[in-house]
Amino acid sequence: MSDYKLVGKNFTPPDITGKVTGKAKYAEDFRVDGMVFARMYTSPMAHARVINIDTSAAEAMPGVVGILTAADVPEVEAPNAAILTNTPAYIGDPILAVAAETEQIAEDAMAVIKVEMEPLPFVTDPLDSLLEGGADARVEGNVYSRSREGSGFRTVKWSRQQVEEFRAGKEPTGEFVNEWSYGDISKSMEEAELVIEENFVTTGYAHMSMEPRTAMAYWQNGTCYVHGSAQSQSFWMPGLARLLGIETKDLVLISENTGGGFGSKIGAYPVAALPGWFSKKINRPVQLRVTREQEYYMGSARVGFQGWIRMGFAADGRILGSDVFIIEDIGANATGGDASSAGGAISMVYNAGAMRFRGLPVLTNTTPRGAQRGPGQNQIAAVMAPIMDKAATKLGIDRVDIRKVNSTNNESVVYAERLPVTSAYMDEALSKGAAMFDWDTRRQRPKKNGSKVRGLGIGQGFHSAGATGFDGLVRITPDGKLHIHTGVGNLGTYSYASTSRAAAEVLKCDWDNCEIHRGNTEHNLPWNSYQAGSVTTFTHTRTNYVAAMDALRKMKAIAADTMGGSPEDYDIDGTRIFRMDNPAQGMSYGAIAARAIQLGGEYSGQTFPEDINEITQRSVQNLAGSGLVGVAKDNLPQEGVIPGLAVAFCEIELDLETGKYEILDYVGVAECGTVLFPAGLAQQMKGGAVWGMGMAALERHVYDPQNGLPANIGYHQCGIPTYLDVPSVTRTSAVDIADPQNPFGARGIGEPAMGCSVAALTSAISDALDGHIFGRTPVSPDMIVNHVTGHDQSFLPLQTNNF
Amino acid sequence: MNPQLSRRRFIKAVIASSVAAASSSGIHSAIAQDKPRGAVERLISLNVNGQTRRVDVSPQETLAFTLRYKLGLTGTKIGCNRGECGACTVHIDGVTNYSCSTLTHSVRTRAVRTVEGLQAADGSLHPVQQAFIDELSPQCGFCTPGQIMSAVALLEENPRPTREEARHAMSGNLCRCGAYDHYLNGIMRASGQNS
């Protein structure tokens, strides 16, 4: 590791100065001449059919420039989200938009628009929809399953008895639609020394990115320019082009800075295309600013779970079998998949000998769901931690040791497909965390002090952390500079920069002599992955590696062509390419770039590999002749699951009288291969910790079941963690063992950083309460007080989205 | 500096105003609800970052709106527009204020400072800005200008705060990325104390 020049070293990301000076521009900070402002009229009903729209009074208002309705935008088949709809399926579903000279006029125009609607039945809790006679969230059905074999609506109903038995903690006997398994689950339970059954709820909650999903668009010469709040950059292009009904060659996306995404802005979301359609209709630039309140109505949120799990343990703590059943709250637009991912996480993190997953994705008339930091993996992490603790206690095993017995390692095979892992060191992560936390000493300490009781928690997080097949693009110009073109988004992880350094590492360039091109698709960006799913680090160290290796190959070929010998005779030092047997004979990078331009062909991008994506092809064509071009698709070998793993240890002090707790200490350890950017990793681990603390204790959706109204539409109502909800110091570290399937040994970490935290918290709460398992997130103070004082909880078992 | 206006009192006032704002919707929640048509808007002088700026301000316009959309000072961010998140934090006579919940007309005789006003005349960064870079404090950066304005105000009043004091002083600024630890590191560094 130590011979790397850049990998594993801290640096100052080039965009950070703009963030501290206020010069960094986000989507809403751009204004263009003639721009008008759009505001949306959104559904006041949870499920309805629009009968008639009368906009005549609005259109007559001075300053109103135009109206956009569902008739002006492509129709989308339910349950997929449309840009505008006449069949709204949640409160806040956009029905129409008004453009005006000022936002105030647009807002005033809303008051005089008449929308006649026919209300339809609606539901906010999946179990209420499953119950026979319960409402369906869509007229087409109450269940929507997406799968490779085919997606479609179903209507699934359970008998009252089936629902009641599920609420009572029994194995669900109702119909389900998804299933996968491996091993013999029945046999594993028969052979188990200990079988634990629990039901659980994880309530959905909003992403709450600080920047609302503003978008601004205009057209010039047939090209649509969109300023968007995009989590990814290149990856947005095909989806946004599709939403706009154009080809990617006719689209420019500017997204230099994005005020957080956390999964809510991975791909182009429908309202991002609204200004484009509006601008086309009225021939003016249009900005749509989504308000904070609207973010809660029509932004996006984590999928909720209502589930049941049975686990069989051997006497030594090994998990022989895991049998899990999850009802997924997939909102009205059927965006989910979290449940199966949760099953996958059980397979990965707990190395279960046999497994069965059954799932039932149920539609509700609630805010659209989307991937949220560790979608599925982090919900189940919260569920599993107290169960592991319970098993440890019953079997008389230390709580760290039971996790070690089951820890994923290089020999593990995971998922239904029984895939290998690229590498995994969960045991090492647990050892490191336990040592940093001083687990052995702390667990001996007395727990209770008056009404205060201490709890220790251990959590484990996982998300697959890499993808392959994307492109890399670098360029050396005659001034000797290395230009790294990256289509990775910029949502605040700085991984666009840390992965770009992989190219500089290969070409041994000083970082000061490198320039990153990004943030605007006119900057000739390559086809890059989504900036999500913890994939960027693994994926784009690889793409930048292959592009730099392509550049290096061309440099050597040009050197041999110019100075004699064969390419293998040459090496580089970061500024020169030289003959190894006579270092005095060489050329500067600048001279090589100039020679590449003279030679043309593949050297300067006139020709390029056939397998690169059309987006990369166009970028190369634009750059052709400007320097030595390195461009390649990542065809490096890759086999098996690429795990991002993390563990956390925490100590809380819980007040039995108030139900509140303080987090006294938190230690997070990343297991993400080689550390690429230490400060960035620490920041992800700490930010993920805050997210886990929010999910464990604070954040949830609340709906008024009578009207389907979201009851919490503000930051504090929704429980965003503040400075005072989290420890002022969190400690982090990393295992730092290279993964063999990445040229630099690196994997991603963003999501496991949170999963380990929420799990450590649910584990600590359970520990403080003598092993009581709430089986629910968030655990609120009133739940703790009710438990301590022997009162019933204020909700039905398994009830969700409730007060 | 107004010693009478403690942060706690200020936050209480903001909470009260945001309750009112929460009942209406949208960007202009604090802007004219009943503005008479054709009312003459007023050209006023504002002292922003040490400069006098002439600007046309409608009667119930918020300072965040004026700064961003009339003066081009887009470093001040609007995250919630209802006094919750602190992304719009500016200084008014040295005291932190949520500019989304402050009427522009109310600051006509006062000195407004935004994140754009922190750099020295030679362009060098304010110590808090530099410390936030050194500690890699921002993630997405959207809340950062507000965090910086709160941190600068804290250090002007209390040049060597404890980490606990800083944590409380900063608690009116939200960060969804959860970069609180790194922001506090930045404040401790800027105050000359090891983080």
Domain ranges of chain A: 424-466+642-788
How far does Cα A20 stand from its chain's mean position? Answer: 25
pLDDT in tens, A174-183: 999 999 999 9
B138 in reach of chain A (CB within 8 A):
yes
In chain A, residues with a C-beta closer than 8 Å to the C-beta of B129 are 20-21
CA distance A758 to chain B (A): 14
pLDDT in tens, A553-562: 999 999 999 9
Q: Which of B114, B133, B173 sits opposite A12 (nearest CB)?
A: B133
CB contact under 8 A, B79 and A259: yes
CA distance B54 to chain A (A): 21
What is this model's ipTM? 0.97
In chain B, residues with a C-beta closer than 8 Å to the C-beta of A103 are 26-28
Q: Hey, what CATH topology would domain B7-117 get?
A: Ubiquitin-like (UB roll) (3.10.20)
Asked if residue A712 lies in contact with residue A494, where contact means CB atoms within 8 angstroms, the answer is: no
The CB-side HSE value for A177 (13 A sphere, CA atoms) comes to 24
CA distance B1 to chain A (A): 23
Can you tell me the mean pLDDT for A426-430?
Answer: 98
Q: Distance between CA A265 and CA A411 in Å, rounded?
A: 35
B27 in reach of chain A (CB within 8 A):
yes
Residue A2 predicted with pLDDT over 70 = no
CB contact under 8 A, A687 and B148: no
In chain A, residues with a C-beta closer than 8 Å to the C-beta of B18 are 714
- Phi, psi for residue A407 in degrees, rounded to 5: -75, 145
Q: Which residues have CB under 8 Å from A84's CB, separation 6+? A: A68, A69, A70, A72, A73, A94, A95, A96, A97, A274
- The residues pairing with B51 across neighbouring beta strands, listed in sequence order, are B48
Structure tokens at A509: 């360039």
Q: What angle do CA A413, A419, A425 make, to 5 degrees?
A: 50
Architecture of domain B127-190: Orthogonal Bundle (1.10)
pLDDT, residue A138, reads 98
Residue numbers in chain B where pLDDT is lower than 70: 1-41, 195
CB atoms closer than 10 angstroms to residue B60: 16
Q: Distance between CA A777 and CA A173 in Å, rounded?
A: 24
Asked if residue A649 lies in contact with residue A724, where contact means CB atoms within 8 angstroms, the answer is: no
pLDDT, residue A493, reads 95
pLDDT in tens, A230-262: 999 999 999 999 999 999 999 999 999 999 999
Can you tell me the mean pLDDT for A29-46?
Answer: 97
* Band (A345; pLDDT cuts 50, 70, 90): very high
A111 in reach of chain B (CB within 8 A):
no
Structure tokens at B140: 């997405």
Q: Distance between CA A91 and CA A78 in Å, rounded?
A: 16
Q: Which residues have CB under 8 Å from B51's CB, separation 6+? A: none
Q: Distance between CA A269 and CA A82 in Å, rounded?
A: 9
For chain B, the domains span 7-117, 127-190
In chain A, residues with a C-beta closer than 8 Å to the C-beta of B25 are 107, 291, 293
B140 in reach of chain A (CB within 8 A):
yes
Q: How many residues does chain B have?
A: 195
Q: Distance between CA A642 and CA A544 in Å, rounded?
A: 18
In chain A, residues with a C-beta closer than 8 Å to the C-beta of B180 are 686, 690, 723, 726, 728
In chain B, residues with a C-beta closer than 8 Å to the C-beta of A31 are 69
A121 in reach of chain B (CB within 8 A):
no
CB contact under 8 A, A211 and B170: no
pLDDT in tens, A610-662: 999 999 999 999 999 999 999 999 999 999 999 999 999 999 999 999 999 99
CA distance B109 to chain A (A): 25
**Torsion over CA: A640, A642, A648, A654 (sign):** negative
In chain A, residues with a C-beta closer than 8 Å to the C-beta of B69 are 31
pLDDT in tens, A674-690: 999 999 999 999 999 99
DSSP A369: B
pLDDT, residue B41, reads 62
Structure tokens at A297: 């109505």
Residue A415 predicted with pLDDT over 90 = yes
Structure tokens at A325: 């059943």
pLDDT, residue B32, reads 42
Q: Which of A20, A31, A688 sits opposite B125 (nearest CB)?
A: A20
pLDDT, residue B33, reads 45
DSSP B35: P
Can you tell me the mean pLDDT for A407-427?
Answer: 97
If residue A244 lies in a helix (H) or strand (E), which one and from where to where? helix A236-244
pLDDT, residue A147, reads 80
In chain B, residues with a C-beta closer than 8 Å to the C-beta of A679 are 135-136
Q: Which of B32, B79, B115 sits opposite A22 (nearest CB)?
A: B115
The nearest alpha carbon in chain A to B18 belongs to A714
pLDDT, residue B18, reads 40
Asked if residue A172 lies in contact with residue A200, where contact means CB atoms within 8 angstroms, the answer is: no
pLDDT, residue B194, reads 75
pLDDT in tens, A378-398: 999 999 999 999 999 999 999
CB atoms closer than 10 angstroms to residue A684: 32
Q: How many residues does chain A have?
A: 803
Q: Distance between CA B60 and CA A612 in Å, rounded?
A: 55
Q: Distance between CA A492 and CA B176 in Å, rounded?
A: 11
The pLDDT mean for chain B works out to: 86
CA distance A262 to chain B (A): 9
- The verdict on domain A424-466+642-788 having CATH code 3.30.590.20 is no
Asked if residue A516 lies in contact with residue A499, where contact means CB atoms within 8 angstroms, the answer is: no
Single-letter residue type at B177 = C
The nearest alpha carbon in chain A to B137 belongs to A683
Q: Which residues have CB under 8 Å from B148's CB, separation 6+? A: A20, B115, B118, B126, B128, B129, B132
B170 in reach of chain A (CB within 8 A):
yes
